[in-house]
Structure 1
């Protein structure tokens, strides 16, 4: 798309937008303006004072937006659609569909838009898009006029400036526009260069026939408009001149282009995808989407994204420097010879593709720079994929009449955001405009979904386009949103709850609304319950109501504060059917399986009050084996699904999903296609795991996968193993409702998996519909699951810790009265515990209690020291198994003498068949 392209499941240059409308906001009048004598610039506002409202949904690759003085919001999509959001009618409508050159899923098209500073008087709008007259492909900035009736006057088109591009190159397009206070127009352009074959470093390949692999022909070329930020003065007739202070001043004649282009304000850009200009200072800011290198190498530094500031015209270094002027080496792509590092004070462009000056202006360092890993200088930015976007500088206007404007606390703050990491930060500058600090904006409630443009509206609210979750497709969560600040009274938050919401008529339901809250302390709340969704039926906080007829009822709670602010919440009640009962029972242990093949006897029972006979076809019993799961706590070991596959969980928590889907192509290939391609390649797991870490490209087309140096080799391998397993997913292993299962999948393998036996029944729906009416009840489904885990439990799998530290797969820093908890453990058939542990110099005791640290004692181990922390031994103790499942508390006891740092626990094994001679019997130890 014409987005920033830099990566695989991760960063390709992209876009934006955030969206977050909670279901409980409902219709709430805006609070009246609160008059404040002196704006508070020191106290950080509570995050709940910011509200994010979706203005327009169901967008397709939104790019850039502009807000008119009257509040109308204009925005464009990459495929060429131009929209208007009308705040009066609260509706979005298509104004024009530009016939732009939008290639494939991610190339060019409609890249950006802006409105004229004098829009109120001249009604001018500017668009940045790709055209292809004849055999040449051009980027065009054109001006149009919009009529009073909100129709675009297509005949008014004035081409302001054009420049050719290499269409076969995917991405690095730039495309953003902004204005300074003098009325100069800034235009960002990408380097239009293939980033591959450079190992994520500088694309300076000067071999014959490969011009598109050399960014020196564009970003490093003083006579080329690509890889730049341009600055021009547009005149009413559509012509332009060059303002004073550009990088290569040549008077005001744009035709004087011997070795430099006078339009250039900033050169040395890779992909300045979003820019902004401070309306007070005319200082230019932009996010620079950097290269993919995950590690430093002889070719040069690893990749960094940047947030840049230009107080005057300058060269920002690409493709010779990155970050804070970290230099690349001069590199011969034919011989692989490494040359000297480029000189930031006097970089030289000796590329045969260079049509401009050879000696370039000194390189300027970035204001903020960060790699895939956690940044040393800016650790708060986190780690993962990168896609930096430059946002606006906010100026608080106390005279502005608006009850939604951002607070004075953010006065003069620069807002920056990252498309890949889904965050927004407020950057603080001092009086000389130097970087001071930064802090996250709405980190808990922002729910930003690939923000691609952020602007300040005339009302002081923020307007944001969210690109949506996945790059290069029509996302369901692509949208236009507004972020408001409420400095006065806040609406309450309605929380409606109920128990027993499914049953037969007459059905009495107890509702609770007293968990509703109001952030403004002291507000007295009023409650209105509409049990039928329409008529007020109760005004108590916690009423009961009897539903006497069958049906589905949307019960609505409205909560109102003393200022009239309100919100709603809904509870669905289904009358006329009850849920079935499903249970899996086994005479064997229901928590553990051993190292050898073990038969599992089981029985599934199903009952339903309305279904007189249970239809066997509606009973579904399935046995699955998940070979590898996370060693993190497993929710009490009661529930486990395929999402606990370690590789799948790692992918879900990474940026891979931004560029990959399981079955559909995005900017990267579908995971299923990857699995098919490497199905018979035995070297694929190691090869692909390495590629995930270091990045790479060339296999699936023109787009590369960015590096993930923050992942360990083990984590990358688990992700790859999950992807490669997609073509080998077993056919659903349906089993009978009762019988005996041979558990063999784990034998001879690492004991890290889980057996999951699930039983599901869907009933026939209501048998008691209203007279003369068809059934209105949805069929109800109930599932039970039996999860079996290995009988050796790693220390890191503990569900709860008290005064204990996780140390990888082990537990350490265990002291007197420290304890760990394993929840919902069945000890049927278990009569021995075996600990693998180390203890440098302190003998002590491990007690096992049920259900609390002081509950019934079922096992005791008095253990000796092992002499060293890295010397591990195994010791066993008998255990008396109570009936049923219990939480097991492993309490460490040493009441006398030095009693810190007693124990390092690697694992606990739950065994059957031990004799009294093999294990100690439980005994109490004073504490």
Structure 2
């Protein structure tokens, strides 16, 4: 028992008699991520959509294919407790779930779904009874049916209740973006399909699509209209249910239960570039409505960036829409012509870096609105979030896999945001909600769109202010090798965040004989076999965790290496380099030379850099690009998803001479008709060279020799100079042995990574008291304190005899030292004392260095007696290692 808890018991005091700050040490201090634990409840779901946490800890959630499931907290089992027959094409299905505010008494839940085999085509909001853990289909009360066009896109479907018992339901614009080049779809031509003009839906005051409605359900299954909606009942050519209109695809919404604020994530259009004829590129939005309003679509995006009124017949831009006085003059509009003033988004961001919100990163976009947290709303459990998050909005992005918390001002304007659990993996979060216990429950959709994903699931994020479980880490000097195999085990990295806890260790080496209580024991496996070594770690209060590591004895992993005749960190000017691939294996009497895979690739950059060293698997550039571009959200290699599998694409185009050029064009510019009616949007933001690698990987699935130009295992390779500072050479070799002594084949890979010898200072490995700056079109490092530094780790200095810098000392009088091993290590070279040159910003400085060979950590350290601050800095733009 903790001392604080004991004191309360002895004094007979109620914990509620103290202030929240007394009970909550993290009321004002941001807790470390290590205090949060992501607990797996259910995995391998089939397109989970929305969840509801019940007061007893059970969790109801829906899957798009029509199933209602229940996670039973007491047993840990997941049960199918109801199923609807739903129309499952495009983005429809079972989309929304909410429990009634009086669920514990009336057992009502609300579902929003697309009924199958029902005419006319509608999406439906219904109330059902949920009793004894079963959905009573016969109890259905249909509150609302929304006519829809079963053709493409944007169904929305999120349901939430406010503290007054009002139900909010979000609906998408039911409009295809592809007919309008992924800008705003306002095609008014009468001979066009019915779903190409969003002025018919989200810009239409007389249509519920593209809106978030607010209604008050009644006990008899009807509803009334609360005061304060956008259009009072009886207003001609309007729907009184509308609370906010002008939405494209408000996929997830939330209500601040303390003040009624409505938040939602708006999934924006796909255009990747601004257009002089059409308007702005696509942005996703996080929106806030304190009262009813019009939020711009299809006339504005983001902070009211205006689109052009566009004549599709004449292909002419007529005028920019005015956010102060938007008008809907479309012949498809059945509502009012003069719309309310457009409201700006709270947060907005495009595919590329956001100027206003750069912390939101880049890439695909699917913004979601999560809950607002108030600690006092939840029971005083051991897992309740701390008061630090009081009043903060949780937002998340389905494509970018992040969660942020947003703080607002007293006037509910944007103030700040910060990443929540940045090192934790979230696989396409699709809904989240705080349970009665104050833990955060997160539903994750998983990698592939329209697929049952192994990485989908239901999770609970718990906070621990008191005693926390230890974190166990296990590693070994060897995990494979010939018998007898001596293994040095390590528990390095094992820790407990409670400083007073002492940990005990229990090892079981998995062969029925070996055990140990040492933190880092050594054990010898005498016989071949596969063994599961287990480490159990226990703290002094009895909390324990365990982790395992597989040890395979009887076959040693092959050793693969490449003798490279040039510098092993950099490439310079065009020159031939001698190389030779070596493979050795203790069990294979003869190395199968044809089984050795060897490649040298020049990579243009723009994606995560690939490190060096021994790996079990060789990197395939095309697949690497596919993974990082998020393409597997719609396509998988083998399993069906939204688009065709890569395997089927490879089969279809096998042997076709023009296949690569054709598919590269398809990926970049988009297209439809080959694999069905659904249109694949263009990917103009991807570099052509990267798309070519992606297509080569796909075509190579059925034709392993496609595009392969096998290099000899010994020879000369001509390195070519490049002006691209981000480009690098990736040299790889791998070999899989034949297995031995009952242990299957093992594979080893060797990688050598050569980067341009002209480096941006911002690409350094580590930084101390420096800042990355972006000003006047330049990216550079600001040294903000005396003795601040940057380092380039494990750099091959062979052949380097000078270092050239491009720098600007600003108002600081000082010098840069180049040191090896540490900031105070061996002095390799230094500039003279430098100071600002009038009329010159950045200027070159050359440092003569002593010849040295081998790999070293290289530090650039600022030495100065001048005052240095964030406003008065020494600045470094580029570094060139030269021969």
The TM-score normalised by the length of structure 2 is 0.80
Give the conservation status (yes or no) of the 8 Å contact 1:388–1:418.
yes
Give the conservation status (yes or no) of the 8 Å contact 1:795–1:809.
no
Distance across 2 between alignment mates of 1:367 and 1:847: 46
Q: How does 1:140-539 map to 2 (within 5 A)?
A: 140-148=124-132, 150-168=133-151, 170-210=152-192, 211-250=194-233, 259-293=237-271, 294-295=273-274, 297-397=276-376, 400-432=379-411, 434-503=412-481, 507-513=485-491, 515-532=493-510, 537-539=515-517
How far is 1:466 from its partner?
0.8
Partner of 2:733: 758
Partner of 2:24: none
Q: Judging changes above 3 Å, is the alpha-carbon distance between structure 1 residues 374 and 835 closer, same or farther for their aligned structure 2 residues?
A: closer
Q: Judging changes above 3 Å, is the alpha-carbon distance between structure 1 residues 526 and 219 closer, same or farther for their aligned structure 2 residues?
A: same
How far is 1:57 from its partner?
0.6
Q: Judging changes above 3 Å, is the alpha-carbon distance between structure 1 residues 747 and 351 closer, same or farther for their aligned structure 2 residues?
A: closer
Match of 2:101 among 104, 117, 132: 117
Q: Judging changes above 3 Å, is the alpha-carbon distance between structure 1 residues 226 and 872 closer, same or farther for their aligned structure 2 residues?
A: closer
- What SS does structure 2 have at the residue aligned with 1:380? helix
Residues 578-607 of structure 1, C-alpha deviations (whole Å, 9 max, x = no match)? 445555568899889997885857474534
Distance across 1 between alignment mates of 2:787 and 2:65: 66
Distance across 2 between alignment mates of 1:153 and 1:291: 39
* Larger displacement relative to structure 2 (550-559 or 436-445): 436-445
Partner of 1:621: 596
Residues 274-293 of structure 1, C-alpha deviations (whole Å, 9 max, x = no match)? 11222233332222222234
Residues 871-908 of structure 1, C-alpha deviations (whole Å, 9 max, x = no match)? 999999999787xx55496999999xxxx999987755
How far is 1:623 from its partner?
3.0
Q: Judging changes above 3 Å, is the alpha-carbon distance between structure 1 residues 619 and 361 closer, same or farther for their aligned structure 2 residues?
A: closer
Distance across 2 between alignment mates of 1:581 and 1:42: 53
Is residue 741 from structure 1 mapped to residue 715 from structure 2 by the alignment?
A: yes
Give the conservation status (yes or no) of the 8 Å contact 2:378–2:438.
no
Residues 555-600 of structure 1, C-alpha deviations (whole Å, 9 max, x = no match)? 2221111222222222333344444555556889988999788585
Partner of 2:47: 61
Q: How does 1:661-672 map to 2 (within 5 A)?
A: 661=636, 666-667=641-642
- What SS does structure 2 have at the residue aligned with 1:627? strand
Residues 397-446 of structure 1, C-alpha deviations (whole Å, 9 max, x = no match)? 277242212222222322222222222222233455x1242333523233
Q: How does 1:34-49 map to 2 (within 5 A)?
A: 37-40=18-21, 41-49=27-35
- What SS does structure 2 have at the residue aligned with 1:569? strand
Q: Judging changes above 3 Å, is the alpha-carbon distance between structure 1 residues 849 and 187 closer, same or farther for their aligned structure 2 residues?
A: closer
* Larger displacement relative to structure 2 (188-197 or 803-812): 803-812
How far is 1:504 from its partner?
5.3
Partner of 2:835: none
Give the conservation status (yes or no) of the 8 Å contact 2:831–2:845.
no
Distance across 2 between alignment mates of 1:365 and 1:736: 60
Structure with more relative contact order (C-alpha pairs < 8 Å, separation 6 or more): 1
Q: Judging changes above 3 Å, is the alpha-carbon distance between structure 1 residues 697 and 219 closer, same or farther for their aligned structure 2 residues?
A: farther
Distance across 2 between alignment mates of 1:368 and 1:427: 10
Match of 1:720 among 691, 701, 711: 691
Q: Judging changes above 3 Å, is the alpha-carbon distance between structure 1 residues 118 and 636 closer, same or farther for their aligned structure 2 residues?
A: closer
Q: How does 1:833-852 map to 2 (within 5 A)?
A: none
How far is 1:192 from its partner?
0.6
Partner of 1:924: none
Give ranges in structure 1 of 5+ residues lacking alignment.
1-30, 251-255, 767-774, 911-927
Match of 1:705 among 681, 684, 702: 681
Q: Judging changes above 3 Å, is the alpha-carbon distance between structure 1 residues 533 and 810 closer, same or farther for their aligned structure 2 residues?
A: same
Distance across 2 between alignment mates of 1:840 and 1:181: 58
Give the conservation status (yes or no) of the 8 Å contact 2:660–2:692.
no
Partner of 1:569: 547
Distance across 1 between alignment mates of 2:170 and 2:608: 48
Give the conservation status (yes or no) of the 8 Å contact 1:58–1:476.
yes
- What SS does structure 2 have at the residue aligned with 1:349? coil
Distance across 2 between alignment mates of 1:382 and 1:871: 28
Q: Judging changes above 3 Å, is the alpha-carbon distance between structure 1 residues 779 and 158 closer, same or farther for their aligned structure 2 residues?
A: same
Give ranges in structure 2 of 5+ residues lacking alignment.
9-14, 22-26, 810-814, 833-837, 865-872
Give the conservation status (yes or no) of the 8 Å contact 2:610–2:753.
no
* Larger displacement relative to structure 2 (403-412 or 868-877): 868-877
Partner of 1:772: none
Is residue 50 from structure 1 mapped to residue 36 from structure 2 by the alignment?
A: yes
Distance across 1 between alignment mates of 2:719 and 2:492: 50
Distance across 2 between alignment mates of 1:377 and 1:486: 34
Distance across 1 between alignment mates of 2:534 and 2:341: 65
Distance across 1 between alignment mates of 2:31 and 2:787: 43
How far is 1:861 from its partner?
14
Q: How does 1:571-650 map to 2 (within 5 A)?
A: 571-581=549-559, 600=578, 602=580, 604=582, 606-608=584-586, 611=587, 614-617=589-592, 620-628=595-603, 630=605, 643=619, 645=621
Q: Judging changes above 3 Å, is the alpha-carbon distance between structure 1 residues 43 and 750 closer, same or farther for their aligned structure 2 residues?
A: closer
How far is 1:395 from its partner?
2.3
Residues 23-48 of structure 1, C-alpha deviations (whole Å, 9 max, x = no match)? xxxxxxxx999958322332222221
Distance across 1 between alignment mates of 2:97 and 2:638: 34
Q: Judging changes above 3 Å, is the alpha-carbon distance between structure 1 residues 758 and 868 closer, same or farther for their aligned structure 2 residues?
A: farther
Give the conservation status (yes or no) of the 8 Å contact 2:378–2:437.
no
Q: Judging changes above 3 Å, is the alpha-carbon distance between structure 1 residues 806 and 782 closer, same or farther for their aligned structure 2 residues?
A: farther
Partner of 1:556: 534
Q: Judging changes above 3 Å, is the alpha-carbon distance between structure 1 residues 632 and 680 closer, same or farther for their aligned structure 2 residues?
A: closer
Q: How does 1:22-41 map to 2 (within 5 A)?
A: 37-40=18-21, 41=27
Greater C-alpha radius of gyration: 1
Give the conservation status (yes or no) of the 8 Å contact 1:667–1:703.
no
Distance across 1 between alignment mates of 2:203 and 2:371: 27
- What SS does structure 2 have at the residue aligned with 1:719? helix
Q: Judging changes above 3 Å, is the alpha-carbon distance between structure 1 residues 545 and 871 closer, same or farther for their aligned structure 2 residues?
A: closer
Residues 479-511 of structure 1, C-alpha deviations (whole Å, 9 max, x = no match)? 111111112111111122332454555554433
Give the conservation status (yes or no) of the 8 Å contact 1:636–1:822.
no
Give the conservation status (yes or no) of the 8 Å contact 2:277–2:316.
no
Residues 446-487 of structure 1, C-alpha deviations (whole Å, 9 max, x = no match)? 322211111121222111111112333332211111111112
The TM-score normalised by the length of structure 1 is 0.76
